[in-house]
Chains A and B, each alone.
Chain A
């Protein structure tokens, strides 16, 4: 076997083996779940970060909110890490929650149930306290909270264009370096600010990036990095390939914060010298002109550190409806169904647009809710950039009228504007709609008059189109009976389906029959009919000689099977017809004798049996 073929087969076998082993290694990984608070004790006005780390899984189901009286804990994001060390693949996912205190006191954050890899896990309870006194801001302990790159970023695969290695030894300081740009060095807790990390790689040396950007520290949240941009840039006469990462950074806890440099591991091929005794022109010639044996070098590219001053959100002037939004926003609202049927819910969609911490913001507060029952809204965020910094977040409130209504509730949304360092409250006015509770007649949309008589009691459920409780937690009136099985599991539905099959088939059959009838029946019946007509025409002798022979020809072709006798007969009839046609006797009646002979040649007599 040729060596090249052996190498190819070995490579294929290796890839196959890796493909088979990797998933099993992933599945075989043990799943563990842990929860950790960035700060177990904070002052009011500050926020903490709760991280739930699921090791051994790439995806898990966690609650969006964690209910603790006096705290608002909302899921803000997740990051996934997949690592392969010595062919052992480990993956983990970290879910980050913002913990915002609503009052002072000692709290216990309950264990959180996490579904991962089809199994159920529960984290340990955590103690958390919020005090009123403004504590001195201690610098957070240095740690390396790694930000995982999203799948698809060509980091491990990023390979600088194969450059021709140069002979001279490079200056390592200029070979690779990183820079970090953060436009704001002073920001408020919860405020998001863009951050740009740039890594420069000398274009003359082949580079392969291995790993992820390692950036962050305790006390800050860094959004996941989208795909980096690759550009070229000249600096000090050297051409660099530049990888630029954009992300958003937000601080959780007020105080001075020193963020560690953003690191990136890579491997660079650096030209090395020749071994002693080989450094001569002859050996260089043998190596194809290569300056020496290149060597791979593991390098960690670092940016400079980042110092941030994080200010607390002011307590003064904080509106009641403030729920953690920091940025610049505007408000808009619409009623998606302004004329719901009696008892049906109306939907008020409040849209908060602008830029800021959309993930950490709470829902707007409804105002003028008298006579309405509302449910916690569903929210949806449509980002207009890849960092989710700008966009529109829609809160869809489901409202059920408890009395006849002509207007929806209003809405109030407060945020902190870091530019002016003030709280801003936005309001949206009630919108016109026509809604009424179940069982009650709708408000006259023309006059707006409500019925003078009270709505009939729906305690029996007879008048209710939708069962809604009068208040949250109140029992539902009325009874509606429903089956415990799906229609597909019920015999009546299957019988109805079968009946439809039969009806469709019957309709098809009926239409086919009508169509055949309208076309004069089937081909056989049409043939029989035609033979009978020709027979009666020929026997009757009421047509002229030319037409008689035409009919005789047609009759012969229809009745007699192909044979020599038939051919002879046809040629005889054709000759006679042509003679009559080109003579002058075609329009004359056929003489009686010739008529008789014609009938005899066709085996036709007035009493002859019908043709087949």
Chain B
């Protein structure tokens, strides 16, 4: 009689371990009413509500793509396209397959005059969530590994089955690795969006009086290469020849929310 609850508990723990289970937070009434107000065009009022919501304990380690998306809409309605671009980027960080966020980010970046990222990572993430690739690939890879072990110890070794098991291992773990490489969250810790109201000046050394080495538009995504006090050494890309320089950290906001809930 004890077996079934134990089995359920084990299954639940297994799903939690693999993070396949999306935890449903009890939707606060504030969120529903904020959505209603946003629909009726009261973006100014609801913006603070969304910001408050993101300080809830649920969001200490986790995030909600929907809240960031709605917050981005509110910011867009209040005319803050730069902040909206950050919110949409965060929504896509949590759920790269969230089509409305991708559409709104394209619009926002278009309004800011910034090219919309459309590399292989973005395209592949539109159809499949990286989490699914990583976890699903790992499961397939391990099934292949277990099957191979069993087949190797069988008296009659069937070559076709062994090849199939090896294929499962390669494809499964390869998919898992590919998902990890494509997952935008992997590098998000070292990325920031320029949120200053005007173009940000890149400097050769971490000082206001240092030589200018270029300017970057607000809304641009940069990679943080190192830090020196309140200064960040950033790069606009990974290719050689990418523009690099020091910016003051108050001109940019980290792509990952600082307290994993609010910024």
Contacts and interface: CB of A to CB of B under 8 A. Distances in A.
Contacts of A483: 19, 61-63, 185
Interface stretch (A351-359, A460-468, A574-582): A460-468
Interface string A497-539: 1001001100110011011000000000000000000000000
B149 to A, nearest CB: 5
B55 interface: no
A27 interface: yes
Given A462-B24, A496-B17, A487 B134 contact: yes
B25 A481 contact: yes
A55 to B, nearest CB: 15
Contacts of B260: 484
Given A113-B115, A479-B24, A118 B237 contact: yes
A548 B135 CA distance: 66
B146 to A, nearest CB: 6
Contact of A492 (B19, B100, B142, B216): B19
Interface in B16-63: 16-19, 22-25, 27, 31-32, 34-35, 38-39, 58-59, 61-63
A486 interface: yes
B113 A511 contact: no
A376 B94 contact: no
Interface residues of A, number: 61
B79 interface: no
Contact of B62 (A376, A481, A486, A487): A481
B103 interface: yes
B70 to A, nearest CB: 4
A480 B70 CA distance: 13
Interface residues of B, number: 74
A398 B19 contact: no
Interface in B218-263: 220, 235-237, 239-243, 256-257, 260
Contact of B134 (A67, A488, A508): A488
B22 A115 contact: no
Contact of A120 (B66, B135, B220, B240): B220
B18 A496 contact: yes
Contacts, number: 189
A110 B22 contact: no
Contact of B113 (A111, A375, A467, A481): A111
Contact of A486 (B70, B180, B241): B180
Given A67-B110, A398-B99, A480 B135 contact: no
B186 A493 contact: no
A469 interface: yes
B188 interface: yes
Interface stretch (A250-258, A423-431, A470-478): A470-478
A473 B43 CA distance: 12
Contacts of B113: 110-113, 122
A376 B100 CA distance: 11
Contact of B135 (A117, A484, A487, A512): A487
B114 to A, nearest CB: 5
B171 interface: no
Contacts of B103: 375-376, 472
Looking at A114, A484, A488, A504, which has the most chain B CB atoms within 10 Å of its CB? A484
B150 interface: yes
B125 interface: no
Given A118-B235, A479-B67, 14 more contacts: A115-B237, A376-B103, A467-B65, A476-B70, A481-B59, A482-B62, A482-B64, A482-B94, A483-B61, A484-B188, A486-B186, A488-B180, A493-B18, A495-B17
| Pairs of residues from A and B, 10 with the lowest C-beta to C-beta distance, nearest first | A118-B242, A511-B153, A119-B243, A475-B70, A118-B237, A476-B66, A481-B62, A475-B35, A117-B241, A486-B183
